[in-house]
Structure 1
Amino acid sequence: MQHFFADRSWVQGDKIRLEGSDVNHMKNVLRMKEGEEVQVSDGTGNAYLCQIEGYEGNQAVLKIREKTEKDTELPSKIWLFQGLPKGDKMELIVQKAVELGVYGIVPFAAKRSVVRLDEKKAGKKQIRWQAIAKGAAEQSGRGLIPEVEIVKTYAEALEFAKELDVILVPYELEEGMKATMSIIEAIRPGQSVGIFIGPEGGFEEQEIGQARNAGAVPVTLGRRILRTETAGITTLSILMYHLECAEVQ
């Protein structure tokens, strides 16, 4: 069943008046007709089973058949802080991070980042990444669309993260899997978590020092060096499994 997001203000009584690009996609790409069913989330935890009543101008008019609470979010808010990678890797990272339950994504420029974006290019990239996040949230049945922040400096990213309960920095020179396991196992549902991932060249030692000073804890992901597009997905997968298991214990 197709899944769409609606602004809370579009929910009016027993109807939802869907607006924006989703209407064109529904009408002209999917060619959905009157009577077909769709799922709609309002971004605040509510899910609606709807039936298409028709199209009016730039709106799709949906009849609400059933309202439920959507329980698809992780029990903790996890932020992925991603050092800018080369090429289109960020698009894959955003898509998979959203599927795995990330709450928000903060791209940042590290010292070894090859990509350098001016304000105009960064703005265009952010719009593109946010659209990918929306599509991934719809595909994976999320109850909200994770926010992709505008590109920040490393110092700005650390400042953004300082209010989080736990900050992890996977680092290829860090050792001690037992210590990493203890750190992850100590994270409880409800705590906010930040994950800092370096670009292709990794973090410089000075950047790791800055992270430590900001309260971050370097951890290891094993004996192999992972690509930047793999490291964040791996860490998110571990946290997703740990937190959802902890919630049912």
Structure 2
Amino acid sequence: MHKFFVEKNNITGDRAYIEGDDVKHIYKVLRLHEGEKVSINNCEGEEFLGIIEKIDKKEVIVSLTEKLDLNNESPVEIYLFQGLPKSSKMDLIVQKATELGVKEITPIITERVIIKNEIGEFKKLDRWVRIALEACKQSKRSIIPKINGPLEFQQLLTKLKELDLILVPYENEEGYGIKKVVRDIAQNSINKIGIIIGPEGGFEEDEINVLKELGAYIITLGPRILRTETAGFVCASLIMYELGDLGGKSSK
């Protein structure tokens, strides 16, 4: 069944009104017809079962038949802070982080980040938001992750104070990984987890020292050096497996 996100003010009574690019996608790409069932999300985590009532080139009207008791979000909130990479790598990072269940994605500007056109980087934000929305539809998520504009390193430090756990994969760290972090922390007090990934050139040592002073766990992801666009996926996956829902429900 196809899923669509509709702003809350586009739901009136028992009808949802789909507008914008989704309309063309419905009749021209998916070739859906009146009478077919679809899933509607109000962009705030509420899900509805509906039947397409009317399709035209401006809007699709869906008759809502049932509110669903459905929540595909992880019990832990992961906040990904990604050193801004070159080219279009951030597109892939946003897509895959969304599929994994990351709650919020923020590009960060560290010492080794190279920005050729700062205005251009901020203009990419609209594209990243669209990519996150499409990934939400594909992965059947209940909430669209928030995609923030790039933050300077000093701004990042203020943001980190809101989190319960901060993980920083670092190529010069040896032996201390996520298994040991999970063993060392009081898991019942952990809800908001920040993952900080360096750019292609990695972190400067002084940046790592500042993060340590804030209480961040500097960890290894293994003996092999991962690309910046890979490290976030791996770290988020391991945390989702250990503390979230990626490994399935506990048998206890």
Does TM, normalized by the shorter one, top 0.5? yes
Q: Give 1:173 deviation, angstroms.
A: 0.7
CA contact (8 A) 2:48 2:65 kept: yes
Residue number in structure 1 paired with 2:144: 145
Closer/same/farther in 2, CA of residues 41 and 182 from structure 1, 3 Å limit: same
CA contact (8 A) 1:48 1:68 kept: yes
Unaligned runs of 5+ in 2: none
CA distance in 2, matches of 1:130, 1:145: 9
CA contact (8 A) 1:108 1:157 kept: yes
Residue number in structure 1 paired with 2:221: 221
SS in 1 for 2:124: helix
- Larger displacement relative to structure 2 (158-167 or 127-136): 158-167
CA distance in 2, matches of 1:237, 1:50: 33
Q: Give 1:20 deviation, angstroms.
A: 2.4
- Per the normalisation by structure 1, the TM-score is 0.92
CA contact (8 A) 1:36 1:52 kept: yes
CA distance in 1, matches of 2:116, 2:165: 29
Closer/same/farther in 2, CA of residues 54 and 184 from structure 1, 3 Å limit: same
Unaligned runs of 5+ in 1: none
CA contact (8 A) 1:75 1:247 kept: no
Question: Could you list the per-position Cα deviations for residues 12-41 of structure 1 after superposition, in whole angstroms to 9, with x for gaps in the alignment?
Answer: 222111222212221333232211221111
CA contact (8 A) 1:189 1:246 kept: no
SS in 2 for 1:121: helix
Question: Could you list the per-position Cα deviations for residues 172-212 of structure 1 after superposition, in whole angstroms to 9, with x for gaps in the alignment?
Answer: 111224x6422134344861000000011110101101212
- Larger displacement relative to structure 2 (89-98 or 108-117): 108-117
- Per the normalisation by structure 2, the TM-score is 0.91
SS in 1 for 2:24: helix
Give 2:179's match in structure 1, choosing from 169, 178, 181: 181
What percentage of residue pairs aligned between the two structures are identical?
A: 43
- Larger displacement relative to structure 2 (108-117 or 123-132): 108-117
Residue number in structure 2 paired with 1:167: 166
